Structure 1
Amino acid sequence: MAQWYPGRKLSWARLSVVLVVIAGLISGGIYAWTRVEDSQVAAERTPWFDAYVDVTATPMFPFESPGEDGQKNVVLSFIVADSADACEPTWGGYYNLDEAEHSLDLDRKLQRLRNLGGSAMVSFGGQANHDIAFDCADEDRLVESYSEVIDRYDLASIDMDIEGTFLSSEEGVARQAAAIRKVQDAQKDGLDVWLTLPVAPDGLTYEGLRAIRAYLKAGVDLAGVNVMTMNYNSERENDFYPAVESSLEATHSQLRSLYQEIDAPIGDATAWSRVSATPMIGQNDTRKDVFTLEDAQKLSALAHEHGMSRMSMWSLNRDRECDANWPDPKTVSDNCSGVVQEKGDFSKILRKHRSGAISQVAEEVENDGPVELVEDDPETSPYPIWSEVTAYPAETKVVWHRNVYESKWWTEGDQPDQAAENGSQPWRLLGPVLPGEKPIERPKLPADTYAKWDKDAEYRRGDRVMFDGDGYEAKWYSAGDSPDAALVQPQDSPWRALTDAEIAKVTGSSNEASTGANGSGAAVQADSSSDASGEGSGNGGA
């Protein structure tokens, strides 16, 4: 054992060794502490899986009724600018927020989902239409529009889908980022902001990186970046999934570099927690790109391994096998995947290991179902009160025990909250009557719009008449058949009542996408399949 003698000097060589050892111990301690902090930050959120729902696609997807093992976390898409007013938010360009409430019962369906333990965020943008910030140069109105959507739907999370033409607009994206910063600052309960961007096998594109920089420069606190792992235009089908993995690895590295640029470095685990993937399930727009069930299992395992807090998919509308008469499996559909599967297979696989939910702010509304025999008040009910002696055609909406139901087919005497005698329930529960609701005013036809029905006249398909103040259209040749039979025996009657949307079109009413016949709420709209398919929709169209 060496001894220390007074007056003995420590050589520079020995001193250097000591300093190196001390520095190593200090840096090692800092590194270990940083790794612990990194892991803690990354683990702050319970991982969840959500799925996009195209709100305006037809047929409408019943996201409000997920069932026991269905998908309960959804991303409602897409909020875009009104074609007549660039600063006005609409759903897909078809409905403003009030019209979506009346025509789609969107507010009610969202509340029902939440009553059943589900969660939701709203996606702005997409590929097929323009985001509000694209042409809206009025800063105050832009902030108001984003806030209007967030406040109306009690959101604590939003998804900014930036792609297509808007992604190329540096000025528009910067304008959007500045507005979202103001919106985020004003939300007392906080607001998670996710950027959804296209990605290549080697990572985010130049324009995608520029969009993130714009948000960071504006001071937006990003929850994360969701990349659309789809449409890589692979040369061979077996090249597709490896491209998904490489794009996520590259995005992870790019995200760390972007935060390093603003002197706010994040660790490896934190970066992974801020990376999300949205595959286009089944057949992609590019013919050789097919995301299979096996790919979903691989992606689910990868996301779990890396601690990705969010996972998603495009779309819940498509999570089922196409019908046998679908002409070409390589042709993208907006309501089926194009691969062999059971309904809901993709969402079940991708949500494995993910028990969390989307952050949201929502007030409680009385649970669905007749907990007590509530007396329904016509003055506070959006639709007529159900009556045992009234016949209801398909897609008619009624109120019963403070809940709204829609008939799936013609029905009479079947109480909405009880199963029919044959075990088949003709009513579908849409959700509770919301606070402050009033009867929805239906458009009326002026008395002289069409000729009155004449029992001695002959009518052919497409002819329209008036009967007891209501409009009817002939479905086929008719002579002597009274139109009122259409309300009692719709399958056998040669007449059908005009929908509210058709009446609104004739009268020039502003509520053109209103409710269906007899207050049905069945919107008649342009087929939005081009918007909802991978070819035209936001995520699917990357």
Structure 2
Amino acid sequence: MTVTRVDPTPVRRLSILRLFIAVVVTAGVVVGGLFGYQLYAAQAAGTTSSAWFGGYVDVTATPTYAFESPATNSGKQTVLSFVVASSADSCTPSWGAAYSLQQASDSLDLDRRIARLQQQGGDVTVSFGGQANTELAVACTSVSQLAAAYASVIDRYDLTTVDLDVEGTALQNVAANARRAEALALLQKERRAEGKPLAIWLTLPVTPDGLSVDGQKAVKETLAKKVDLAGVNAMTMDYGSSLAAGSNMAVAAEDALTATHRQLGILYGQTGTTLTSRTLWSKIGATPMIGQNDDADEVFTLKNATALNAFAVSKGVGRMSMWSLNRDVSCGSNYTTLTVVSDSCSGVDQHGQHFATLLGKHFKGTIDSLAGTVTTPEPVSSASLKDNPKTSPYPIWSADNSYLEGTKIVWHRNVYEAKWWTQGDVPDNPVLNSWQTPWQLVGPVLKGEKPVAQPTLPAGTYPNWDGTTAFTSGARVLFEGTPYQAKWWTQGDSPAAASSNPDSSPWVPLTLAQIAAVKASAAPSSPAP
């Protein structure tokens, strides 16, 4: 999938006896008396899960998409994308090669936003790979380290389902395909031994004729390593020359899914596992690119979405996704070249409708195909609302302080961010409309958090402030290591007053982005190879 720039309470399990009966009834016959691991695993994956919808979210795209505040009920389940290899360490996962997992938490509030979505009954999974950057299995040549890299993401976000988006050169890399399959098999085996289920989806490109030869090989390799696949998710998009001129995009997607269904049956058969047509359909996913595709002649319309949903529901498709929730809105009047793909709008007039609603209709299952329903939150006690500065990442809100736009505070165990200058406005004051409060709820304070250190710059980056020196507009100084910028000419006004009286203070602290830019410009450049 194209990107523009650089996870519940377990349900009761079937007993082995009941599972055996279910398999026999579903399959009709156990071929050759086979009731080994593969048949058990494959049939269990197909019969214990319910169809689910989860739209992809491009985590590092600009502008940032607020997945924690979904526009539709269908948007409450998201596939966060994409985790790839870090540019600094081939076996370390990163978000889009731009943020480490911790940096994404610090800079994007990713962990907190996930927690906020879960508070509202939503959930997430994570997609590894994608079209851009370097996939972990390509960069990391150690199976054990690769498995550890996957595990670090799974553990951090408490995932029970993962998505492996394999395309481009990564899909053609035979060695990477083998490593990925072996690492996933190892990880899945270890987690099952610990009583932790792990559902694995392979997301692969397709044409109207189904999986490419490389895609078929990737599935075959994954099954050969005894990975219990939850399913194969077909990227029904960007067909290129394989799509006949004037073709209907919904029909093309239906053809691609039908062909993938047939191919998947053959691939399972080659491993000695026979699956019913119904079970195979439950192991198929569909992911169209909504609106304008990367090919100018390919446009997936609202009508196409309705038709594809009807087809998928009729067949019993196990999963529906879309690329992407970031784009599920009409483009504004200032975006004129609609045939050029935008990462923040679809390129078609949606007439106030959402692709997520149309595609997600009747898909009532959860992202976690082996997990139970969302638990009901316990009643909130007054003691649980008390804030502790020692365990709060940001200062506790005070009615006496004024806060600049973008300032983050903690109130009643939640983090809020100021949308504009404010003083005395209670962050959790109940309002009917978001514009009635200056505070945006970011998400809950997480377990184990500590105060976020005030960002500083090394001594000498800027002159230290002193009361006798006059500073002109735009001048930058360091005050106790914190950088400030003058809004107008000033002399004798301490930057210390900027936080308590930002309007009257001539000083404003540099933002995190500005500080990062200063540090980046000061870093020594790498020597040419």
Q: TM-score, normalised by structure 2?
A: 0.82
CA RMSD of aligned residues (A): 3.3
Give the secondary-structure state (helix, strand or coil) at the position aligned to 1:297: helix
Structure 1 residues 503 and 74, CA gap change in structure 2 (3 angstroms): same
Counterpart Cα distance in 2 of 1:220 and 1:172: 15
Residue in 1 that maps onto 2:310 = 301
What secondary structure does 2:73 align onto?
A: coil
Counterpart for residue 27 of structure 1: none
1:71-110 superposed matches below 5 A: 71-110=75-114
- 8 A contact 1:39–1:269 mirrored in 2: no
Residue 471 (str. 1) matches residue 468 (str. 2): no
Question: In the alignment, is residue 497 of structure 1 matched against residue 509 of structure 2?
Answer: yes
Aligned to 1:281: 290
Contact 1:115 1:368 (C-alpha < 8 Å) held by counterparts: no
Partner of 2:198: 191
Query: In structure 2, what is the equivalent of residue 372 of structure 1?
Result: 382
1:409 maps to amino acid? W
Amino acid at match of 1:74: T
Map of 1:291 onto structure 2: 300
Change (3 A) 1:505 1:421: same
- Assess, with a 3 A threshold, how the Cα gap between structure 1 residues 458 and 324 changes in structure 2: closer, same or farther: same
1:524-539 to 2 correspondences below 5 Å: none
Q: Is the 8 A contact 2:143 2:180 kept in 1?
A: no
User: Are positions 1:157 and 2:161 aligned together?
Assistant: yes
> SS of 1:149's equivalent?
helix
**For 1:219, which of 198, 223, 226 is the aligned residue?**
226
Determine if contact 1:317/1:335 at 8 Å carries over to the other structure: yes
Q: Once the two structures are superposed, what CA deviation does each residue of 1:431-465 show, in whole Å capped at 9, x if it has no partner? A: 2111111112233234543235688857455x423
| Deviation string, structure 1 residues 30-82 (Cα, Å, up to 9, x no partner) | 99974599999855322111100111112221111236735111101111000
Encode CA deviations 1:244-273: one digit per residue, 9 max, x unaligned. Answer: 111111111101111111110111111111
The one-letter code of the counterpart of 1:425 is T
For 2:219, the aligned partner's letter is I
- Listed as ranges, the matches of 1:140-155 within 5 Å are 140-155=144-159
- Contact 2:90/2:136, CA 8 A, preserved across alignment: yes
Q: Which amino acid aligns with 2:436?
A: S
Distance 2:356 2:216 in 1: 29
Alignment equivalent of 1:123, drawn from 124, 127, 152: 127
Which residue in the other structure is 1:433 paired with? 445
Contact kept in structure 2, 1:319 and 1:343, CA below 8 Å: no
SS for the counterpart of 1:124 is strand
SS at match of 1:71: helix
- What is residue 230 of structure 1 aligned with on the other side? 237
For residues 329 and 507 of structure 1, the distance between their equivalents in structure 2, rounded to whole angstroms, comes to: 37
Q: CA deviation at 1:135?
A: 2.0
Q: Answer whether contact 1:393 1:490 (CA < 8 A) is retained.
A: yes
Tell me which of 329, 351, 360 is aligned to 2:338: 329
Deviation at residue 362 of structure 1 after TM alignment: 11
CA distance in 2, matches of 1:34, 1:446: 68
Match of 1:251 in 2: 260
Q: Distance in 1 between matches of 2:378 and 2:470?
A: 49
- Show the counterpart of 2:38: none
Name the structure 1 match of 2:212.
Answer: 205
Q: Which amino acid letter does the alignment assign opposite residue 215 of structure 2?
A: G
Aligned residues: 479
Q: Which letter does structure 2 place at the counterpart of 1:348?
A: T
- Identity over aligned residues, as a percent? 47
**In structure 2, what is the equivalent of residue 383 of structure 1?**
394
Contact 1:455/1:479 (8 A) holds in 2: no
Give the SS at the match of 2:450: coil
Question: Partner of 2:358: helix, strand, or coil?
Answer: helix
CA contact (8 A) 1:196 1:226 kept: yes
Match of 1:45 among 43, 49, 74: 49
- Confirm whether residue 358 of structure 1 aligns to residue 362 of structure 2: no
Gap runs ≥5 in structure 1:
1-29, 513-542
Deviations 1:118-147 (A, max 9, x none): 121110001101111112112221111111
